[in-house]
Amino acid sequence: MPELPEVEVVRRGLERWVSGRTVAETEVLHPRAVRRHTAGGEDFAAQLKGHTIGTARRRGKYLWLPLADTDASILGHLGMSGQLLVQPESAPDEKHLRIRIRFADTLATELRFVDQRTFGGLSLHENTPDGLPDVIAHIARDPLDPAFDDAAFLTALKLRRTTVKRALLDQSLISGVGNIYADEALWRSRLHYERPTATLPRPRAIELLGHVRDVMNAALDVGGTSFDSLYVNVNGESGYFDRSLDAYGREDEPCRRCGTPIRRRPWMNRSSYFCPRCQRAPRVVS
């Protein structure tokens, strides 16, 4: 599943291969892929036609493409299984091709949104004065954003009456952290996922934020170098996950710090992986 570093790789690919091109025709092949566009697929296609794509931008796991000479942007989210591909027009359709955007030039490539589980999608929205699609105005900056406000995040964390992993996944506090990187950052910080945020000393919170950034940057270094062709792709295949995960997906395997078997616990209809020795459960569990 694409996490923030993979989405950033996609953004760079879009900037290189799609920005500056003018939309000729859009084909919506599955209504669920444009469900956030309430006016529907036909309207989505009609509104894109003839507009030139501006510089690709990203916040957390959201991507957007401003349309030049308008106050609107194409907003994209890859969800669980989405891919944005720049393919030759002659390439056969992918099995789960949902949206096709053709361009008014002679490059003979097109942009394709492919998504098996259809948690992701594209839509068109007005921009806020900040140049952000209005429907993601509530999404906090991500920790790799130079303008991310560390002090404000630490304060908000302290005020919340919730648990630390839940806070890491709260898009209004910090964006772009998914289940995998949350578990990885907590393992590095030796924090249990159910630790109440209110009891977290400030130095531990600072350390946690640092580990979130470290995990993301490490993945970005790996994934960011593999992109070098006429192919915008993301499928969690940076190679980083196989080699470098310390907690996520390692149930019953020894903790790389202390050798204790990693445990998996059901959590919010998914799983949390942790070392029961390095990451002690809080005394009072809500």
Nearest to 180 by CA among 162, 195, 165: 165
**Minimum CB distance to DNA smaller for 23 or for 85:** 85
261 given a catalytic annotation: no
String of contacts with DNA for each residue 54-93, x by CB under 7 A: ------xxx--------------x-xxx------------
Shortest distance in whole angstroms from residue 260 CB to DNA: 20
Active site residue 25: no
CA distance to 172, 179, 207, 272, 275, per residue, from 265 (Å)? 25, 13, 24, 5, 11
Q: Which residues contact 133 (CB under 8 A, 6 or more apart)?
A: 62, 64, 73, 75, 125, 126, 127
Q: Is residue 170 classed exposed, middle or buried when 0-12, 13-18 and 19+ CB atoms within 10 A define those classes?
A: middle
Cβ pair 80, 114 in contact under 8 A: no
Residue whose CB is less far from DNA, 19 or 171:
171
Q: Which stretch binds DNA (CB under 7 A): 39-47, 66-74, 101-109, 264-272?
A: 264-272
Determine if 217 is a binding residue for DNA (CB under 7 A).
Answer: no
Nearest by Cα to 73 from 84, 60, 63: 63
Instruction: Tell whether 102 is in a known binding site.
Output: no
Q: Is 2 a catalytic residue?
A: yes
Distance between start and end Cα atoms, the chain: 30
Interaction of residue 116 with DNA, rule CB under 7 A: yes
Q: Which residues are annotated as a binding site?
A: 96, 117, 160
Binding site for DNA (CB under 7 A): 1, 3, 32, 60-62, 77, 79-81, 95-96, 116-119, 135-136, 138-139, 160-163, 166, 169, 171, 175-176, 178-180, 248, 264, 268-271, 286
